[in-house]
Amino acid sequence: MSQQHNIILLCLFTVFITSLVLGLENNSTDEECADLNNTTWQEYRQRSVKLQVQYLLLTRRNLDCAQTFTQQSLTETEQPSYFNISRPTKVIVHGYRALGSKPSWVKDLAVALLRAQDVNVVVVDWIYGASFAYNLVVENYKEVAVQISVLINQMQTNGCKLESFHFIGISLGAHVAGFVGTLFEGKIGRITALDPAGPMFKGADTFDRLDPSDALFVDAIHTDSDYFGISIPVGHVDFFLNGGKDQTGCARSRFASMYGYVICDHMRALHVYMSALSGSCPLIGIPCSSYEDFLKGNCLDCDIFKGTCPTIGLSENSGITISPIPKEQRLFLLTSSSTPFCAHHILLRLEVSPLDKSAEVEVTLRTESLRKEQRLRLSPTDSSRTDTTMYRTVLTHPLPLCEIQTIELKNTGAFYRQGDIHVKSVCVSEFPSNRQDVPLCVNNFHIRRGAPWFHDFVQVCDY
Ligand SMILES: *[C@@H]1O[C@H](CO)[C@@H](O)[C@H](O)[C@H]1NC(C)=O
Ligand SMILES: *[C@@H]1O[C@H](CO)[C@@H](O)[C@H](O)[C@H]1NC(C)=O
Ligand SMILES: *[C@@H]1O[C@H](CO)[C@@H](O)[C@H](O)[C@H]1NC(C)=O
Ligand SMILES: *[C@@H]1O[C@H](CO)[C@@H](O)[C@H](O)[C@H]1NC(C)=O
Ligand SMILES: *[C@@H]1O[C@H](CO)[C@@H](O)[C@H](O)[C@H]1NC(C)=O
């Protein structure tokens, strides 16, 4: 017997002893909790079978102790399963596991789903096939989808309806879910893609990647589309958070931790989704053709959805009520850097007399307890053609516009920039707004270098 075998046996023995001890202590030897099965490079190299897909079941009745879920769980009477055929089923599919480790967030996502809805949560564990060489993993993903579809077929035979399935796929898991959808000709209920994987999928045929035809409704959240995520829309609605590339609060420095540098953006989609499940504040997307247009304040409403903006989370069709549901609709929103990630979108319109030089302005919106400053760069304009220039930009604030008490403008440009800026008007308004909100405006003043200008608003919130 080789040394490697001895080590594995030793490990198994240790695990056995440990669980035995725990079992006695806990006095619960009759029910052992199932867990995701991690793998090591050593095991992986010696593998005899390609995939080892297993399923874990979590419900409100066994939140702390996952149950292994198999085809037999549906019919077996000796070992009753917590699975309830009359309830909808959420299927969580993880993605690529570089080191073969268990994804630590699976439990949190399952619990967040179960807090929101009384459903069956089935976790697909395909860590064995999802680990190490990315290109080999990409070869495996369809085979995993085929295996999942066999189980779904069996569940269908036992009375589960295809439309009652909602897949939540993370990264590469989104394409696994997409291929399950392809196998069922788009008849499964919903697929939610959390930063669907980009490498090797962006140029792929829709047969090979997630697309709107894979389920009755497909929603996607994009947070790292310049690296691990995909930059093209893959669902009916695609939420691009902060433009979909770089997330606030994720370190940009190369001295940042491995997590900060490599996967913070990518994992943000999951954290925002879990936060949305808790329902503490709305995360709504606004349709726009590009992020640049959105930031310029050219997209301020959800008229194409008859006024209701799509929301991240579990509401049916993301809250869209129009029919047919548009496809590949790009939606944009800005978020804050930490839970619950919601932010109010505020359009700033600054009308100034023509500038000779470029200028830098710091805009601060203050409430009683909070101040938030954001920088604005104004480029010089051709004064022979216009006598006024309008700058529009979208800002965020943690609180709604009606709570803002003071606006402050500071000319922060260096000496070689514009020294005196004549402001014809500055207006702030919140969007999207369904009431007839009047923008807050101040007219005709100068902002000089070194002398901040501010104005107090008198207003009340009528919640
Ligand atoms: C089992 O025992 C361990 C250690 O004593 C404890 O931390 C854990 O909460 C127990 N689990 C249950 C389900 O009682
Ligand atoms: C463990 O189980 C035995 C028999 O089922 C019971 O008598 C005992 O009280 C239990 N101990 C604890 C600590 O729960
Ligand atoms: C877990 O992984 C080990 C080694 O990779 C394998 O022998 C075992 O069968 C797996 N268990 C399940 C339930 O898939
Ligand atoms: C997973 O792998 C790590 C490192 O190899 C090991 O420490 C841990 O006990 C394993 N967990 C399970 C549940 O097998
Ligand atoms: C299964 O779900 C249905 C519908 O929610 C409920 O009425 C029923 O009590 C559940 N069955 C069990 C065994 O929990």
Answer yes or no: is the C-beta of 436 below 6 A from any ligand 5 atom. no
User: Order of strands, edge to edge, in the sheet holding 359-366?
Assistant: 371-378, 359-366, 406-411, 453-456
- What is residue 387's predicted lDDT score, i.e. its pLDDT? 76
Answer yes or no: is the C-beta of 84 below 6 A from any ligand 5 atom. yes
The verdict on residue 25 lying in a domain is no
The DSSP H or E segment spanning 12 is helix 3-26
CA-to-CA separations, 107 to 58, 59, 237, in angstroms, rounded: 9, 11, 26
CATH for 274: 3.40.50.1820
The verdict on residue 394 lying in a domain is yes
Which ligand lies nearest the alpha carbon of 11? 4
- The CA 70 to ligand 3 mean position distance, Å, reads 15
- Domain shared by 348 and 318, yes or no: no
Residue 20 has pLDDT above 50, yes or no: no
Distance of CA 283 to the CA centre of its chain: 10
Which ligand lies nearest the alpha carbon of 100? 4
The residue annotated as part of the active site, out of 175, 266, 345, 397, is: 266
End-to-end CA, the chain: 73
Work out the mean pLDDT of the chain and round it to a whole number. 87
How many Cβ atoms sit within 10 Å of the Cβ of residue 302? Answer: 21
266 is catalytic: yes
Instruction: Name the residue at shortest CA distance from atom 7 of ligand 5.
Output: 86
Range of the domain at 391: 344-456
**Residue pair 425/391 in contact by the 8 Å Cβ criterion:** no
- The CA 312 to ligand 5 mean position distance, Å, reads 28
**Residue pair 316/257 in contact by the 8 Å Cβ criterion:** no
Answer yes or no: is the C-beta of 80 below 6 A from any ligand 5 atom. no
Q: What is the DSSP letter of 339?
A: T
Q: Pick from 87, 114, 160 the residue to mutate for probing ligand 5's pocket: most ligand atoms within 8 Å of its CB.
A: 87
The verdict on residue 246 lying in a domain is yes
Residues of the chain above pLDDT 70, percent:
88
Which residue, of 294, 313, 333, is where some domain finishes?
333
Please report, to the nearest 10 degrees, the dihedral formed by the alpha carbons of residues 173, 178, 184, 186 taken in order: 140
Band the pLDDT of 10: cuts 50, 70, 90. very low
CA-to-CA separations, 405 to 116, 364, 375, 459, 460, in angstroms, rounded: 36, 11, 19, 8, 10
Q: What is the C-alpha to C-alpha distance for residues 33 and 14, in angstroms, rounded to an integer? A: 18
The verdict on residue 177 lying in a domain is yes
Answer yes or no: is the C-beta of 54 below 6 A from any ligand 3 atom. yes
Answer yes or no: is the C-beta of 87 below 6 A from any ligand 5 atom. yes
- What is residue 257's predicted lDDT score, i.e. its pLDDT? 62
195 is catalytic: yes
Q: And the tokens for 118? A: 């009384």
Mean pLDDT confidence for 177-200: 97
Band the pLDDT of 41: cuts 50, 70, 90. confident
The verdict on residue 98 lying in a domain is yes
Place of tokens 């149950």: 67
The verdict on residue 134 lying in a domain is yes
60 is in an annotated binding site: no
Band the pLDDT of 72: cuts 50, 70, 90. confident
Answer yes or no: is the C-beta of 44 below 6 A from any ligand 4 atom. no
Specify which residues 193 forms β-bridges with.
169, 220
| Closest ligand 5 atom to Cα of 61 | 14
Q: What is the pLDDT of residues 260-276, one digit of tens each?
A: 566 889 999 999 999 99
**Residue pair 89/165 in contact by the 8 Å Cβ criterion:** yes
Q: What is the pLDDT of residues 280-312, one digit of tens each?
A: 999 999 999 999 999 999 999 999 999 899 999
Q: And the tokens for 83? A: 């699975």
Band the pLDDT of 253: cuts 50, 70, 90. low
Q: What is the C-alpha to C-alpha distance for residues 178 and 201, in angstroms, rounded to an integer? A: 12
- What is residue 23's predicted lDDT score, i.e. its pLDDT? 33
Which ligand lies nearest the alpha carbon of 63? 1
The residue annotated as part of the active site, out of 125, 195, 219, 265, is: 195
214 is in an annotated binding site: yes
Q: What is the C-alpha to C-alpha distance for residues 390 and 306, in angstroms, rounded to an integer? A: 29
Q: What is the pLDDT of residues 371-411, one digit of tens each?
A: 888 999 998 876 666 777 899 999 999 999 989 999 999 99
- The CA 18 to ligand 4 mean position distance, Å, reads 13
Residue 67 has pLDDT above 60, yes or no: yes
- Domain shared by 398 and 374, yes or no: yes
Candidate from 181-190, 205-214, 316-325, 363-372 with smallest mean pLDDT: 363-372
Backbone angles phi, psi at 385, to 5 degrees: -100, -30
Q: What is the C-alpha to C-alpha distance for residues 399 and 414, in angstroms, rounded to an integer? A: 31
Backbone angles phi, psi at 26, to 5 degrees: -85, -15
Evaluated on CA atoms 106, 50, 81, 313, the torsion sign reads positive
171 is catalytic: yes
Q: What is the DSSP letter of 259?
A: I
The verdict on residue 26 lying in a domain is no
Q: What is the pLDDT of residues 408-432, one digit of tens each?
A: 999 998 888 888 999 999 999 999 9
The pTM is what? 0.85
Q: What is the pLDDT of residues 124-168, one digit of tens each?
A: 999 888 888 888 888 889 999 999 999 999 999 999 999 999 999
Q: What is the pLDDT of residues 75-131, one digit of tens each?
A: 877 778 999 999 999 999 999 987 878 888 999 999 999 999 999 999 999 988 888
Band the pLDDT of 221: cuts 50, 70, 90. very high
Which residue, of 333, 366, 400, is where some domain finishes?
333
Band the pLDDT of 435: cuts 50, 70, 90. low
- Domain shared by 155 and 187, yes or no: yes
Residue in 49, 248, 28 with CA at minimum distance from that of residue 147: 49
The verdict on residue 417 lying in a domain is yes
Residue 436 has pLDDT above 70, yes or no: no
**Residue pair 396/336 in contact by the 8 Å Cβ criterion:** yes
- Domain shared by 192 and 82, yes or no: yes
Name the 3-class secondary structure at 200: coil
Number of structural domains in the chain: 2
Place of tokens 């608003």: 457
Q: What is the C-alpha to C-alpha distance for residues 210 and 199, in angstroms, rounded to an integer? A: 13
- What is residue 453's predicted lDDT score, i.e. its pLDDT? 95
- What is residue 16's predicted lDDT score, i.e. its pLDDT? 36
Evaluated on CA atoms 129, 130, 131, 134, the torsion sign reads positive
- The CA 107 to ligand 2 mean position distance, Å, reads 28
CA-to-CA separations, 213 to 181, 203, 289, 354, in angstroms, rounded: 8, 17, 21, 51
Backbone angles phi, psi at 431, to 5 degrees: -145, 160
- The CA 69 to ligand 3 mean position distance, Å, reads 15
Instruction: Name the residue at shortest CA distance from atom 14 of ligand 4.
Output: 38
- Domain shared by 278 and 146, yes or no: yes
Q: What is the C-alpha to C-alpha distance for residues 134 and 99, in angstroms, rounded to an integer? A: 11
- Domain shared by 266 and 383, yes or no: no
- Domain shared by 190 and 307, yes or no: yes
- Domain shared by 247 and 374, yes or no: no
- Domain shared by 53 and 145, yes or no: yes
- Domain shared by 89 and 123, yes or no: yes
Judge if the upstream peptide bond of residue 80 is cis by omega within 30 degrees of 0. no
The residue annotated as part of the active site, out of 73, 81, 131, 171, is: 171
Distance of CA 43 to the CA centre of its chain: 33
375 is in an annotated binding site: no
Half-sphere exposure at residue 320, Cβ-oriented, CA atoms within 13 angstroms: 26
More confident residue, 335 or 12: 335
Residue 339 has pLDDT above 50, yes or no: yes
Give the DSSP per-residue string, 173-188.
HHHHHHHHHHHTTT-S
CATH for 382: 2.60.60.20
- What is residue 384's predicted lDDT score, i.e. its pLDDT? 62
- Domain shared by 46 and 141, yes or no: yes
Residue in 167, 158, 205, 160 with CA at minimum distance from that of residue 186: 167
- Domain shared by 403 and 359, yes or no: yes
Which residue, of 298, 333, 368, is where some domain finishes?
333
